[in-house]
């Protein structure tokens, strides 16, 4: 049977088994179908029907539309799915939405569509330098990684994001974290997304917003398990431990905290 499977299975599957230290016996535990998802360093045979949901499909289309070079030849559907899921749960809670690290706004654009944000009677706060990372709050390694990944943005980004989100109940707060945190007036937050690729501002945001997070509020850490981001993970874990909670590590690379 194994010899027959070797002849019938696509060579890419055989190589995948070898790479993952699997053997052909494991094949009996897998669906007899193609891989369901293979993007953003995540490969699986598990169900990915969320991508077929019309509301999500449109949300992701809007995300890609303004994703710029970061999403030009790259897809992150499952990461966006996590954000949309968390936002849809938070939508039923008291408090506002906050994004720390916005770039072009492609992630919150998906969220806004998915939860029909303007009907929620909430405010969405966007915090970003809108001009790349700040050397005062980033290590040389973080700055170099940002440069390689081309995260630096032109001076026109702020105006572009402002125009994109003009129809929505969104407030842009320009400048580096932690400098701008005090400019967020809300006292209650139910959804907090953190994606700044740098330890100091991320920890500062966690510390500032923790007491403002409502019971059951959602915190999503974008780079928690991402290759090359171990310092962020360690800092997130240390913060969570100081609050008596643990970060849920997701295969998308994200980390999830639900406020007790």
53-258 has which CATH code? 3.40.50.150
Q: Where in the chain is the domain with CATH 3.40.50.150?
A: 53-258
Indicate if the pLDDT at residue 17 is higher than 50: no
Average pLDDT over every residue of 18-31: 49
- Rounded to whole angstroms, what are the CA distances from 4 to 9, 25, 28, 30, 212? 9, 12, 13, 17, 60
Residue 29 forms beta bridges with which residues? none
DSSP string, 182-236: GG---S-EEEEEE--S-HHHHHHHHHHHHTTEEEEEEEEETTTT-TT-HHHHHHH
CA distance linking residue 67 with residue 57, whole number of Å: 15
Indicate if the pLDDT at residue 26 is higher than 70: no
CB 219 within 8 A of CB 212: no
Q: What is the pLDDT of residues 206-237, one digit of tens each?
A: 999 999 999 999 999 999 999 999 999 999 99
Share of the chain above pLDDT 90, in %: 78
DSSP string, 132-148: S--GGGS-HHHHHHHHH
pLDDT at 34: 76
pLDDT at 148: 78
pLDDT at 31: 55
| Higher per-residue confidence, 25 vs 251 | 251
CA distance linking residue 133 with residue 142, whole number of Å: 9
pLDDT at 192: 99
Residue 39 forms beta bridges with which residues? 42
Give the helix/strand (H/E) hosting 258. strand 255-258
Token look-up 């007491």 returns 211
* Cβ within 8 Å of residue 181, ≥6 positions away: 127, 204, 205, 208
CA distance linking residue 206 with residue 192, whole number of Å: 9
Phi, psi of 87 (to 5 degrees): -65, -40
The SS3 of residue 244 is coil
pLDDT at 41: 92
pLDDT at 29: 54
CB 83 within 8 A of CB 106: no
The SS3 of residue 172 is strand
pLDDT at 35: 87
Q: What is the pLDDT of residues 142-189, one digit of tens each?
A: 999 888 776 665 669 999 999 999 999 999 999 999 999 999 999 999
pLDDT at 20: 47
CA distance linking residue 126 with residue 219, whole number of Å: 15
Whole-model pTM? 0.87
Q: What is the pLDDT of residues 81-128, one digit of tens each?
A: 999 999 999 999 999 999 999 999 999 999 999 999 999 999 999 999
| Higher per-residue confidence, 120 vs 26 | 120
Indicate if the pLDDT at residue 253 is higher than 80: yes
pLDDT at 146: 83
Average pLDDT over every residue of 52-66: 98
- Rounded to whole angstroms, what are the CA distances from 6 to 29, 32, 235? 16, 14, 45
Give the helix/strand (H/E) hosting 106. helix 106-115
Indicate if the pLDDT at residue 10 is higher than 90: no
Residue 202 forms beta bridges with which residues? none
Query: Which of the 8 DSSP states describes residue 69?
Result: G
CA distance linking residue 203 with residue 205, whole number of Å: 5
pLDDT at 13: 47
């Amino acid at each position: 049977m194994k010899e027959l499977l070797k002849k019938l299975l696509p060579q890419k599957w055989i190589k995948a088994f070898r790479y993952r230290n699997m053997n052909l016996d494991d094949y009996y535990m897998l669906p007899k179908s193609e891989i369901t998802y293979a993007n953003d360093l995540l490969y699986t045979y598990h169900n990915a029907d969320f991508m077929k949901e019309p509301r999500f499909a449109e949300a992701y289309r809007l995300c890609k539309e303004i994703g710029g070079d970061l999403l030009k030849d790259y897809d992150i559907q499952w990461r966006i799915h996590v954000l949309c899921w968390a936002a849809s749960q938070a939508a039923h809670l008291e408090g506002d939405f906050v994004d720390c690290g916005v770039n072009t706004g492609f992630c919150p654009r998906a969220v806004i569509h998915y939860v029909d944000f303007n009907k929620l009677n909430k405010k969405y706060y966007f915090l970003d330098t809108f001009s790349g990372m700040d050397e005062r709050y980033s290590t040389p390694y973080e700055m170099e990684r940002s440069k390689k990944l081309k995260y630096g943005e032109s001076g026109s980004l702020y105006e572009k994001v402002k125009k994109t989100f003009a129809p929505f109940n969104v407030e842009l707060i320009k400048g580096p974290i932690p400098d701008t945190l005090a400019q967020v007036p809300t006292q209650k937050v139910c959804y907090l997304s953190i994606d700044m690729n740098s330890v100091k501002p991320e920890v500062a945001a966690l510390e500032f917003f923790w007491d403002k997070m409502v019971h059951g509020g959602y915190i999503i850490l974008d780079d928690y398990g991402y290759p090359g981001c171990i310092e962020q993970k360690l800092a997130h874990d240390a913060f969570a431990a100081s609050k008596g909670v643990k970060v849920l590590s997701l295969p998308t690379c994200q980390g999830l905290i639900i406020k007790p």
